[in-house]
Structure 1
Amino acid sequence: MPAIRKAVFPVAGLGTRFLPATKAMPKELLPIIDKPIIQYAVEEAIDAGIETLIFVTGRNKRAIEDHFDANLELEWALLEKGKQEARDMIRNIVPSRVECLFVRQPEQLGLGHAVLCARRAVGDEPFAVLLADDLMHQDSGTPTGDLIEAYSRTGKSALCVAEVAASEVNKYGIVSPRSALSDNTWDVAGLVEKPTQEAAPSQLASFGRYVFAPEVFDILEKTQPGAGNEIQLADAIDVLAARGDVVANRLKGIRYDCGDKLGYVKAVVHAALRSDPIGSELDMFLREFGYQRSEAA
C-alpha cells in the first residue's frame, strides 16, 4: 500500500459568517489564543507523517501563504531584541522537511471542486484532506493519522465520523453503514447530505478529515453540480461508497466547528484552559460565573 505523504487544505472560502473580521483577513488565520486555526490542521497533518501540504486558495488569501513562509525581517528584529525563543517559534512553524504548495481555485464551485483543483499537485497517489474549520483534539494520535491507518489496513478511502444527536443530522453528511469492521470502523454503503431526521440512515456524521484513493479525482471530474449549484465532495464519496470503497472511522476525541461563532468560542476556551500559564487563571475567572472545568479540558 503506497504511503500517504500529501494533504490538501481547501482554504478558498470567504468566511462570511465572521464578517467584518474576515473582510481583509482569511478566516483560517483567526487566532485560537496565539495560533491561527489553519496551523492546528497543519500540525495535525505533519504529526501524521504528511510531507507535502497543498493549500487550495482563492482571492485575498495571500496572508495564508505568508504565514507559512519565512519572514527574515521579523526574525532579525526578534534576534536583535534577544527573543531567540520567539524567533525559533516562527521559523519552525513548518519543519524544513515539509514542502508547502499553493494552487488557486479560480471560482468557488464547491468543496469537491476545490479538492479537484489539487489534482496536479497530488498526482496519482492517495492523499489526505483536512478542513481547517474542524478543529479536533484527541489525547493520543491524530484523526488524520487514524484515517491513514484505516486506509493502509483496508485499502479504502476513509472518513472521520462521530455520532450526533438525531435532531442535528440535517446539518451534516450522514453515513449509511453497511457493516461494522471493528468497534470504531464501518464499511460504508453511502453518504446522505443533510437528511431529515426521518430519512437519516444513522447518526454518524462525517466531519472534516478524509483520506482518499486517487480514483476520487476521476469521480469528481464527472460529478455534476448539486446543492447550491456546486460540485459536492459528498456526492463523490457516495459514488465511492456504492462501489464498496469507503470506510468510516470514529473520531476518538472532540471536534469544534470553527466556521461557527459558538464553535469558535468553544475552541478558544478549550485551548485556553489547556494552556500554561493562563489555563488556571481562566478557570478561576470562569468559576465566578458558575462554570467548573471538566476533566476533558
Structure 2
Amino acid sequence: MFPVAGLGTRFLPATKTVPKEMLPIVDKPLIQYAVDEAIEAGCDTLVFVTNRYKHAVADYFDKAYELEQKLERAGKQEQLEVVRHVLPEGVRAIFVTQAEALGLGHAVLCAKAVIGDEPFAVLLPDDLIWNRDGDGALKQMADLAEQAGASVIATQEVPRDKTASYGIVATEAFEGRSGTITGIVEKPAPAEAPSTLAVVGRYVLSPRIFELLEATRPGAGGEIQLTDAISALLAEEPALAYRFKGTRFDCGTHIGLINATIRFALDHEKLSEPARRMMTDALTELGVRDSD
C-alpha cells in the first residue's frame, strides 16, 4: 500500500501539477523505486491511496497506447520495453481515493476494503531506501515478519535533537538488527523520547491494524495517526523494530532528493563517468570562485 495523497508543498511550484512521487531520481520517478521494492518482496497487488486531484500516478502505471505505437514505429525497442514494463505481468495496481487529508493512519484505513484480512506492507515513496548489493528493505522485513509471525517496522538511529520529527520506539531484547517494540511515541521532544530509534517509511502490518485504526481518535491537526494504532496493537500482538540494511534518502526534502540523485547518477551504468567528471569540474570551478 502506497499513501500518495499528499500535496508535496515543500516542492512547490514543481508539485503544483506534478505529484512529489513522480519527481525523478535520474531516469525513474520516486514511486517506481518503491514499487520495484514491493515487487521484489513478493507483493502482487499494489494499492495506491491518492486524492481526487492527482491523476499522474495512475496515468504512469496505465498503458500508454499512443506512446507505445510511436516508439514501435520509430524502432525504439529499448524505450518501448521500458514503457511497457513499469509493472511486470501478474502485478495489478488498484487506486483508492482518500477524500480528506486526515493523516497516514486514515490513508492506510482507506485501503481496508481492498486488502482485507491479510498481512500487508506500507511503503512511503518519500523514503527511498537503497541496498546496492542485497535485498531491498521490504524484502528483508517481509522475510523477518514471516519467520517471527509478527508485524515489522523499519527503524533508523537519528540524532536526539531530531526525535520531534519522527515516531520513536522503545525496544527490548534487541539482537542483531531487530528487537521487540515495547512502546511507540509520535514526535516526542528530545528530553521525552524513549530512545533515538526512529520509525521510517516501511511497515509490514497485521490486518488487525485496520480495526484499531477505526477506533483511533484524531489527534493533533485532526489527523488519525498510524503510530497510535500501532501502540494499541502492541498490547495484543508482537511487533519488531528492524534496522534495515541499506541507505535511506529522505526525498521529502530538497537535500535528500539531491543526495539521492547524485548517488544514483554515480552508480548508473551509462552516466557514472560523465557524472563524476561533471561534478569534479563543478567543484573545481566553485573552489576557484570561493577563493577569489
- After superposition, the C-alpha distances for 1:85-132 in whole angstroms (9 at most, x for unaligned) are 100111011011101111110111100000000000001100000000
User: 1:290 Cα shift?
Assistant: 6.1
Give yes or no for contact 1:188–1:244 (8 Å, CA) kept in 2. no
Cα distance in 2 for partners of 1:257, 1:228 equals 23
SS at 1:198 equivalent: helix
Match of 2:288 in 1: none
Cα distance in 1 for partners of 2:114, 2:270 equals 41
Match of 2:156 in 1: 162
Match of 2:290 in 1: none
TM-score (norm 1): 0.92
Equivalent positions of 1:125-136 (< 5 A) are 125-136=118-129
Cα distance in 2 for partners of 1:277, 1:150 equals 35
1:173 pairs, out of 167, 172, 188, with 167
Match of 2:134 in 1: 140
User: 1:244 Cα shift?
Assistant: 4.7
User: 1:280 Cα shift?
Assistant: 1.6
Look up the equivalent residue of 1:146 and give its one-letter code.
Answer: Q
Match of 2:13 in 1: 20
Moved over 3 A (4+): none
Inter-CA distance 186–278: structure 2 relative to 1 (3 Å threshold): same
1:45 pairs, out of 38, 42, 63, with 38
Kindly report the root-mean-square deviation, in angstroms, between the aligned alpha carbons of the 2 structures.
Answer: 1.3
Sequence identity, in percent?
A: 48
- After superposition, the C-alpha distances for 1:231-285 in whole angstroms (9 at most, x for unaligned) are 0011111111243521111121110111111111111111111112221222122
In the alignment, is residue 245 of structure 1 matched against residue 245 of structure 2? no
1:54 pairs, out of 28, 47, 51, with 47
Equivalent positions of 1:171-210 (< 5 A) are 171-180=165-174, 182-210=175-203
Give yes or no for contact 1:24–1:60 (8 Å, CA) kept in 2. no
Match of 1:151 in 2: 145
Worse overlay, 235-244 or 153-162: 235-244
Inter-CA distance 179–244: structure 2 relative to 1 (3 Å threshold): farther
Cα distance in 2 for partners of 1:221, 1:95 equals 34
Match of 2:211 in 1: 218
Give yes or no for contact 1:156–1:213 (8 Å, CA) kept in 2. yes
Look up the equivalent residue of 1:161 and give its one-letter code.
Answer: T
- After superposition, the C-alpha distances for 1:4-29 in whole angstroms (9 at most, x for unaligned) are xxxx0010001111111011111111
Look up the equivalent residue of 1:271 and give its one-letter code.
Answer: F
**Structure 2 stretches of 5 or more lacking a match?**
286-292
**Structure 1 stretches of 5 or more lacking a match?**
1-7, 292-297
- After superposition, the C-alpha distances for 1:166-220 in whole angstroms (9 at most, x for unaligned) are 222221111111222x210100011111112221111111100000010000000
In the alignment, is residue 261 of structure 1 matched against residue 254 of structure 2? yes
User: 1:55 Cα shift?
Assistant: 0.4
Cα distance in 2 for partners of 1:251, 1:165 equals 18
Figure out how many residues of one structure are paired with residues of the other and give that number. Answer: 283
Cα distance in 1 for partners of 2:179, 2:220 equals 26
